[in-house]
Every structure is written in structure tokens, then in C-alpha cells.
Amino acid sequence: MGLKIASSLAITSLFALTYALVFIISIWFLPFSIVGLLIMLSFTLVIVLIQYAISPYLVQWLYAIDWLSYNEYKARYPHLAETLDKVLSVNKIKMPRLGIVNDLNPNAFTFGHTKNNARVVLTTGILEFLNEEEQQAVLSHELGHVIHSDFILMTVVFAIPLVLLTIARWAYYTAVYSGRGSGDSKDRGAFVIALFAVAVASYITYYFGYLISLFISRIREYYADEHAAEVLQNPNALSSGLVKIAYGLVADHGVSYEERNRSKTRALRGLGIFDPNTAKYFASGGLTPSGSYSNETIAAAAAWDLYNPWAKYYQLYSTHPLPAKRIQRLNQQCPIYSKKPEIDLSQAKKIKEAQAGKSMAGEFLTDLFFKYLPLIVFILFLIFTIVWAVTYFTAFTLPLFNTISIPQIFLIWGVGFYIIGFGFIAKTGFKYRSGFEPRTIVQLITNVKVSPIRGIPAIIEGEIIGKGVPGYWLSEDLYFKDKTGLLYIDYRFGLKIVDLFFALARVNRLIGEKVRIIGWYRRGPNPYFQVHTIETTYGKRFKNYVKPLTYILAVICFLVGIAFFYFWLNPF
């Protein structure tokens, strides 16, 4: 494993160092030449091609995947082999390489170079928590990416913004370093302005190109969903699978890790009846007679995707559509196959209004205010200083600003950095609230009034069943299960070296352990739980100091403020 880690870091560092070196040489020695731009564009495309060529091998190198022959795969999972045979015979493609990751985090992925050189991987979590038809739907979705040649398409799509970014960087640095040369200053000034214009236009185009790339990626996911529906002639299978994978809505008696591996059958028990009209802060879940969660509970989990303003933000910057959007689209396909949608999200709006009222704009704006509070204060003081500089160093007059001296500006910035420091403290207090109370996963998942900033302090008890990124050697995050469902556990410390140590020294030891986790439930594209403390049954505690570390920024601001006060009292 150490060799894999070292090789991964070495390859990444080599790419970054080589790219930086070529970029510096091109700008420094060929600042005015189109040759420099052509070199940078060529090198960018070469890097893209190299990454495309070696990425499948890197994935195989860094992920713990058990590869199976087709005969072994068919013997273990005949229903999956049946789906595989059907898709391959219709589309006339070669047999992909088939792999299993021994991790109970339900996930699946595919990678490769072409449709005839694909690898399709499922985790044991897919086989454990999804029924056979749902497993077939997930496999069909991944095979949809294969037959649609999404490996090649998305490589090209994401390469275009990189080319535009390279042009922007070349134009910007060429403009910056062009002042070193000699020549007519008027012509050179016009040249520099033109280069800056090219840089700005290229960067704007790059940004929108990147958003378009993400949009295309989401479209490809919809196409893969459609393929799964077509193969099974039933869109409902993938919809119910998404409920389990994306929202973690899986319930059982809480049998142990070892018992679950010995037996594939589990009895399910009721958790009470969900009533959206009660307007409780936390919803309680309900199970149908078949053991699956009720439509009301699923609609409560999906309400965040459909109505929380943060969902629109994450949708814009995500490679995948939000789960509720995918379920809605699958429901629209049901009439094609003479099926009635099994996942009804029509109650989602009613549930959202019961919890959060007609509009969530107030909560969203409050979240944004605290998220960007230190930055807002800094920008206001910066604008103030720019206006002051214009009045101080020019003939322009403004009554308030013309009376301010340079030492007084130091005083103002000293006060400003203290305000920024208190802004960091206020942001941390809002984001990391106290008041931890025991909660179940279903209670957390069905809460609409949550965001990446507005977390819910909670205590959850259950079992670590896998890694946050299943099969990945360097995954510092975890996957958790209680009696009501599954949840992603975010352990990120904030310092890469600490995250790496936790991934190597702790994660594998925690898998299969009963734990009590104290932290904050948050919602991004998917639900997750940010760790404050992990307590094990054998008395070991793992603390995450990300909250205290955020106060360091406040301390830095206070120290900078003291420096400004010094220059105010001791002017030059």
C-alpha cells in the first residue's frame, strides 16, 4: 500500500511540476511569441491525453478491486450476468472487466478507454442493500456509460475549458511580463491592454465552458438512467435503488457486521408513522408492509433537493443531477413501459412548507451572510481604502475622505482586521453549533432546513461499515449505518497530512466497529455528517479539531490588526 501511495503522489507531483516548468519557460523566454502559446496549448493537450491513457491503470492501482472472470461472476451473481449478456448482445460490445470492491458503502463506477475496454465495478454494499432488480438497474446504468462512449466524450468535453484556461493564463502572464521589454511605450500599452482583454475574455469563456461541461455530464447521467430503464423495462428499479444509495434509506434490526455477512436475509421493523402536517422539526420515518420506507419519508428526504435554495447551487456545479431530479425524470418514463411510478414525490412541497414555510430565502441569505461575513467586511474596507486613495493622491474631493491621513488609514485597517477576526468567530459559532442530541439517520435525512453552513448538532450511534470512497486506499472519510439508514461520515481535518495519516492508520481499523459519533449533520449534493468526535466500544476516541482550527484565522486577523495599530502609533 505504501508503494501505491508513494507512486500516486509522485505521479501527481511530476505532472504539476512539469506543467509549471513548461509554462514558466514559455512565458519567460517567449513572452511575445505565438510559439509560446502553441507550446502551452500543445502541452495541455498532451497532459489530457496522458491522463486519459493512464487513468484506468491508476484507478486499478489505487483502489482495492477484486477482479472476477465472467464465469465466476455468473456463478456468484447470475441475475447480473443475465443483464450483462443482454446488454452486450444488443450493443455488440466486448465483455468488460468485472470487479467487486469489498465495502458496504453502496456504490458503483465504470472506467476505461473505450466501450470495448471497459471496467465495471460494484461494491458489496450494492449487493447487500439493494434487491436483485435494483442491482440490475445499477449495473445497467453503468453499462449505459460504456455503450454511450462517455469515457471519450467527457474527456473531450472537459478538455475544451482547459484549453481556454491555458489561453487566459498565457495572455495574462504575457501582458504582465511584457513591460520588461523595450520599444514604443504607446504601442506596448495598446498591446498589453489587448492581452488583458484576451485574458479576461478567455477566462470568462473558460468559466462558462466549465459549467457547460458539468451540464453535459449531468445529461449523460440522465441518458445512462434511461438506458437502465430500457434494459429492465422498468424505471422504478433504479428509482428505488437511488433512494437507498443517495439518501441511505435502508432499515433493519441492526444486526452486526459479521452477522450481516453470514446472512442475506434481514427482518424489518416499523419506525412509526410519518405525518407531514405535524410540522415537527424532525420527521419520523415509516415503513411499508414490504419493509421499504414509505413515500412520505422518501418525499421528505427528497424535499431538500427540490426546494432548498442550496440545491440549485449544488446542481449547477455537480457532475450528477440531484437524486430527486433523477427520480422525477425516471417517473416520467414509466408510461413508456406501462408502469406506475412507485416513488411518489408529490408530498415533498407540503412537507417542505410544514418544516420551513413557503420560502426558504431567509435561511439561505442568512447562510450566505455567515459564510462570507469575513470576506464581506474585507471588501468593504478595501473599497473604502480605494476611494480614500483616489481622494488623497488626486485632486478629487470628498468631504469625509479628504480629512483622513495615512496614519489614520492604518488605524482604520487595524479596526477592520479586528472586525474581520470577530467575523470568523461569528461564522464558526454559526456553523459549529452546540446542543448535541441523539438522532437517527432517518430523522436527519428528512430535515429540509439544513445546509453546508446550517448544520444540525447531533449524536448518532451505529456501525462503521465502509469507507467514504469505497476501495480507495487514501479515503479518510467513512460510511456509517444505524438501524434506520446509511450516512456518509466526513472526517476531513483540514490539513492534508493529518487526513492522510487518519486514512492510513485509522480507517481500516474502524470498519466493522460499533461507534458513537458526535458532530454536525449537513447537506450538500448528498447528505453527510461532519465529525467532532468518534467514540468506539473499546474506549478509543478520535477527535477532529477542524472547529478549533478555524479560530486560528481569527487570531491571525487580530495579530495583523495589532500590526496596523503599531504603524498608526509609530508612523513612518
Position 259 pLDDT exceeds 50? no
Q: Which of 126, 129, 89 is nearest to 109 (CA)?
A: 126
Cell numbers linked to 539: 474506549
DSSP code of 183? S
CA–CA separation, 247 and 245 (whole Å): 6
Average pLDDT over residues 552-569: 94
Catalytic residue flag (residue 258): no
Distance, CA of 570 to CA of 566 (rounded, Å): 6
b/e code 184-195 from CB counts within 10 Å (16+ = b): eeeeeeebeeeb
Q: Which of these, 124, 138, 130, 142, lies nearest to 76 by C-alpha position?
A: 124
Question: In this predicted model, what pLDDT tens digit does every residue of 19-71 receive, in sequence order?
Answer: 566 556 555 555 556 777 787 888 888 888 988 998 899 889 889 999 999 99
Q: Which of 82, 134, 142, 461 is catalytic?
A: 142
pLDDT recorded at residue 246: 94
Residue 166, pLDDT score: 86
C-alpha–C-alpha distance, residues 424 and 429, integer Å: 9
**Of 487, 450, 457, which Cα lies nearest the Cα of 308?**
450
What is the distance, to the nearest Å, from the Cα of residue 538 to the centroid of all Cα atoms in its chain? Answer: 33
Residues for the chain: how many in total?
572
Residue 171, pLDDT above cutoff 60? yes
Q: How far apart are CA 545 and CA 490, in angstroms?
A: 13
Q: What is the pLDDT of residues 79-137, one digit of tens each?
A: 999 999 999 999 999 999 999 999 999 999 999 999 999 999 999 999 999 999 999 99
Please, what is the angle between helix 323-333 and helix 236-247, to 10°? 170
Please report the pLDDT score of residue 48 as a whole number.
87
Amino acid 497: pLDDT: 80
The mean-pLDDT minimum among 182-196, 239-253, 326-340, 533-547 falls in: 182-196
234 pLDDT more than 90: yes
265 confidence band (pLDDT: 50, 70, 90)? very low
Position 379 scores a pLDDT of 96
The confidence band for 213, taking pLDDT boundaries of 50, 70 and 90, is very high
CB 445 within 8 A of CB 248: yes
Q: If you ran DSSP here, which 8-state letter would residue 297 be given?
A: H
The pLDDT of residue 307 is: 95
Complete DSSP assignment for 105-165: S--EEEEESSTTSEEEEEEHHHHHHS-HHHHHHHHHHHHHHHHTTHHHHHHHHHHHHHHHH
Domains and CATH numbers, the chain: 2-61+152-229 (no CATH), 63-147 (3.30.2010.10), 251-361 (no CATH)
Strand order, beta sheet including 108-112: 66-68, 97-101, 118-123, 108-112
7 Cα distance to chain centroid: 25
Is the per-residue pLDDT at 442 higher than 90? Answer: yes
